[in-house]
Structure 1
Amino acid sequence: MQAMRARRALIPGMLALAVTALTACGKKNEAPAAQTPEVKVVTLKDETVTLDTSLPGRTLPYRIAEVRPQVNGIIQKRLFVEGTDVKQGQQLYQIDPSTYEATAKSAEATLASSKLLAERYGRLVGDEAVSKQQYAEAQASYLQSKAAVDQAHINLRYTRVLAPISGRISRSLVTEGALVTNGQANALATIQQLDPIYVDVTQPSAAILRLRKELSDGKLQGAGANAAKVTLQLEDGSTYAQPGRLEFSEVAVDQSTGSVTLRAVFPNPRNELLPGMFVHARLAEGVRQSAILAPQRGVTRDLKGQPTSLVVNANNEVELRVLKTDRTIGTSWLVTDGLKAGDRVIVEGLQFVRPGAKVKATEATAAQAGAVPASAPAAASAPAAKS
C-alpha cells in the first residue's frame, strides 16, 4: 500500500521532467536566423584618363658608318682601341704611304716642268716664235700636271684612314700587314653613334585605324603635348630613365606583317642602350573623358570567357553585369559597356553571394580595392581584345 502511494507521488515529477527535456530539445532543434552577408564595394565614378599603348621594338644606332680604305696598300698601324669611342676625323689606320709619296713628288716635278714650258711659250707666242696651238697645248699640259699633283696629294692623304663619324668603334676586321684595296667587300671596322639612339617599333594597321576612328568620333581627345612623348621598358622589366620623342611614322603598311613602323629617338648619354636590344615603347594615344575604371578585383570571367561583375543595386540586391573591356590601366579595367558611374562593384565577399541575394554593402578601402585576386584576368599593357 505504501509502495503504491510512493509511485503515485513520483508520477507528477517525472511528467514535469519529461516536459522540461522536450522543451530543451525543441529549442536545440530551432534553426538560427539567416544573417545578411556583408560585402565590400567600390563605387564607380567618371574619370579622365590618358590612354597609351605598349609596342615592341628594337634599338638602332643613330648613325652608322663603315670604315673602308680609299687606296690600295699594306696596313702599317692600327691606331685605336677596339670597342671605345672615337671622334670624327680621328686617325684609325695608317696605310703604307711610300708609293704615294713618290707619286706625289713625281707629279710635282712634272708640274714644275710644265709650268716653265707654259710660261716660256707665253713669252714666245707674242713674237710668233711658237704657234698659238703650241702655247695652248703647253697651257693644257700645265693644268693637267696641276690636277695630277692634287690627285697624288689626295691619295697620299687617304693613306691616313680617318673616322667618318663620332661614335663607338667595333673590333678591327684587319690586322697590321694586311693588304687592303679600294672598293673591297669587307669594311675595316664599323662605327655606331649611340647617343642619341633610335628605337623602331611596329604598330598594327588595324590599331591605327581604330585610334583614328575614336579620335574622329570624339571618343578620344588628342594627347596634346604628350602625343610625341615615349617611355621605354627594357628587357629586364625596368623603365629607362630618359624619355624619348616620336620622330616619324612610315607612310606605308608592311604587306608581310600588316603593321606600320614608328621611330622614336632617346638620349643615351651613358650608353645604357645598345643596338639590337628588344624593348617595349609606351606611346600616348589620347585622353578619354568620362571613363569607367573597374577594380580588377571586382572583374571575373564566366564559363564563356566574358568579363563580369557583381553589382549592388539601390535595393541592396546583387546584380550580375556582363562587361566589355578595353584594356588594363594600373590595377583597374577600362570598361566600355556594362557599368556606369555610381554602380557599386563588389570587390570582397564574392564567394558568399549570388545574383538576387540581399547583402550589406560597405565601401572598400584603397588596399582592398587594389588587390588583384588569382582568378582575375591578367593585366596587359597593350589594349585587350574587345570582349
Structure 2
Amino acid sequence: MKKRSFLGAIAALLIVSACGKKEQQAPQAQGPIPFPVQTIAPQDAIIYEEYTANLEGQQNVEIRPKVDGFIQKIYVTEGQQVKKGQLLFKIETQSLGQEAAAAKANVNAAQVEVDRLQPLVKRNIISNVQLETAKAKLAQAKAAYSSVATNAGYGTITSPVNGVVGSLPYREGSLVSATNTMPLTTVSDSKVMHAYFSMNEKQMLNFTRNFSGSTLEAKLKNTPEVSLVLVDGSEYAEKGKLITVSGLVNSSTGTSEFKAAFPNPDAVLRSGGSGIVRIPVQKGGALLVPQNAVIDMQGKKMLYVVDKENKVAPRIIETSTTAGKDYIVSGGLEAGEVIVTAGATKLKEGQQIVPQDSSKQSTPAKEEVATEETTNSSQKK
C-alpha cells in the first residue's frame, strides 16, 4: 500500500509539472502595434499634365533640285553640320551649258542687228519700226539667255540655312528632277527644337481655365516653363516654353495643336524624334495621400482609415493623378480623416493600432517599427 501511495504522489507531481509547462508555453496576449498615420487636409499641389510630342528643328528645309540631271558630286554626309551657303550637291548641267551658249549667241546676233539699224534710221533710210522690232528681239534673246543661265546655275546646290544634314536617299550618278517625290536631303536647324503635341477639347478647356489671360496668346505667356521626358525615361536638362497654339479645333481629329520650344545647345535632341511634354499646373485644395499608403486591389486603389477607437477599416478611393510621390484623391476620402501611411499590407479590418504621427518621423522608420513589433510578437509565440 505504501508503494502504491508513493507512486501516486510521483504521478501527481508529474501532472502538476506538465500543467505548469503548458501554462508557460501558452501565448501571451498581443497588444496594438504602432503604425504611422496622417490626417488628411486640403493643400496646394503641383501636378503635371503629359502629352506625347514629335520633335522637329526650328527650320527643316527640304533640298530639291530645280533642274533635271545626274548627280555629279555629293559634298556632305548624313548627320554632318553645315553652314548657310555651304556646297551640298553638284548636278550635271552640260546640256544647259550648251543651251546657254546658244542663247548667248542669239543675244549677240540681236545686238548686231540693232547696231546696224540705228544709223540707217537716223538717215531716214529705213523706218523706226524696223529698229524697234530689232530691239524687241534683242530683249527677248537676253531674257531667254538669262533663264537658261539661271537654270544652269541651279546645278550647284548650297545649304540655305545652318543645320544638320538628314538622310541622303540618292547617290552619285542618280538621275533627279524637280518632280521627284523625295528631296535630295533635309537640312535641319536644331539649335532650337520644337515639340509639337495636341490637346483634345476637354484638355483644351482645362488649359484655358488653369492659366489666366483674356486671349490664348496671353495664356501662353502666363504658362510656366515646361519639361521634356526623353524616350529613355530621363528628363531633358533644358526647360522649354509654350510658344504657339492653333486657334481652331481640327474638325477631323477634335484637337488643337501646341508648339513648345526647347534649347538644344549640345545637339541631344534630333529632328524626327519624340518625347513627352510635361506642363506643371498649380492645384489648390487638393487631398493628397502617399502612394505607399495605397494598395492596388484588382484595379482599384485601397487604403486603411483609422477611427476614433484607433481601429482600422479598408476604404476604396478614387485618384485623378499624381503629385510627386502622392496621389491626388478625387473621391472616397474626406478632409479630417486619418489614414495609415505605411505597412498597410500587414493590417486587417477591425485591427486596433497605436497611431504615430507620420509628420514627426520618416516613413521608413515607421515601417521598421511596425515590422520589428510584428517580428518580436512572432518570436514570443
Same fold (TM over 0.5): yes
C-alpha spacing 1:131/1:354, structure 2 compared with 1 (3 Å): same
Q: Which moved more, 1:328-337 or 1:340-349?
A: 340-349
> What is the 5 A alignment of 1:1-387?
32=28, 35-209=31-205, 227=223, 229-250=225-246, 251-253=248-250, 255=252, 259-284=255-280, 286-301=281-296, 305-350=299-344, 353-354=347-348, 357-364=351-358, 365-368=361-364
Deviation of the 1:298 alpha carbon: 1.9
Q: Which amino acid aligns with 1:230?
A: V
Deviation of the 1:215 alpha carbon: 7.4
Q: Which amino acid aligns with 1:104?
A: A
C-alpha spacing 1:155/1:301, structure 2 compared with 1 (3 Å): closer
Deviation of the 1:259 alpha carbon: 4.5
Deviation of the 1:160 alpha carbon: 1.2
C-alpha spacing 1:107/1:263, structure 2 compared with 1 (3 Å): same
Number of matched residues?
356
**How far apart, CA to CA, are the structure 1 residues paired with 2:156 and 2:308?**
85
Identity of aligned residues (%): 25
Deviation of the 1:295 alpha carbon: 0.9
**How far apart, CA to CA, are the structure 1 residues paired with 2:356 and 2:194?**
51
Q: Which amino acid aligns with 2:321?
A: R
**How far apart, CA to CA, are the structure 1 residues paired with 2:79 and 2:18?**
97
**How far apart, CA to CA, are the structure 1 residues paired with 2:343 and 2:241?**
45
Deviation of the 1:98 alpha carbon: 4.0
Corresponding residue of 2:215: none
Q: Which amino acid aligns with 2:244?
A: F
Deviation of the 1:154 alpha carbon: 0.8
Kept in 2: contact 1:75–1:179 (CA 8 A): yes
Kept in 1: contact 2:307–2:338 (CA 8 A): yes
C-alpha spacing 1:223/1:40, structure 2 compared with 1 (3 Å): farther
Kept in 2: contact 1:252–1:260 (CA 8 A): yes
**How far apart, CA to CA, are the structure 2 residues paired with 1:214 and 1:355?**
40
TM-score by length of 2: 0.75
C-alpha spacing 1:369/1:247, structure 2 compared with 1 (3 Å): farther
Kept in 2: contact 1:107–1:149 (CA 8 A): yes
C-alpha spacing 1:369/1:329, structure 2 compared with 1 (3 Å): farther
**How far apart, CA to CA, are the structure 1 residues paired with 2:199 and 2:319?**
21
Deviation of the 1:25 alpha carbon: 8.7
Kept in 2: contact 1:57–1:280 (CA 8 A): yes
Deviation of the 1:361 alpha carbon: 1.0
**How far apart, CA to CA, are the structure 2 residues paired with 1:370 and 1:22?**
41
Q: SS at the partner of 1:196?
A: strand
Q: Which amino acid aligns with 1:312?
A: V
Q: Which amino acid aligns with 1:150?
A: S
Corresponding residue of 1:377: none
C-alpha spacing 1:115/1:291, structure 2 compared with 1 (3 Å): same
**How far apart, CA to CA, are the structure 1 residues paired with 2:226 and 2:72?**
47
**How far apart, CA to CA, are the structure 1 residues paired with 2:77 and 2:25?**
93
1:34-71 deviation per Cα after TM superposition (whole angstroms, max 9, x unaligned)? 62332221233432112221222332343333333222
C-alpha spacing 1:340/1:160, structure 2 compared with 1 (3 Å): same
C-alpha spacing 1:326/1:145, structure 2 compared with 1 (3 Å): same
**How far apart, CA to CA, are the structure 2 residues paired with 1:34 and 1:156?**
97
Kept in 1: contact 2:290–2:325 (CA 8 A): yes
1:8-51 deviation per Cα after TM superposition (whole angstroms, max 9, x unaligned)? 9x9xx99x989x98996997699855623322212334321122
Deviation of the 1:346 alpha carbon: 0.9
Kept in 2: contact 1:326–1:336 (CA 8 A): yes
Corresponding residue of 1:382: none
Kept in 2: contact 1:309–1:321 (CA 8 A): yes
1:273-297 deviation per Cα after TM superposition (whole angstroms, max 9, x unaligned)? 223334222123x311122211112
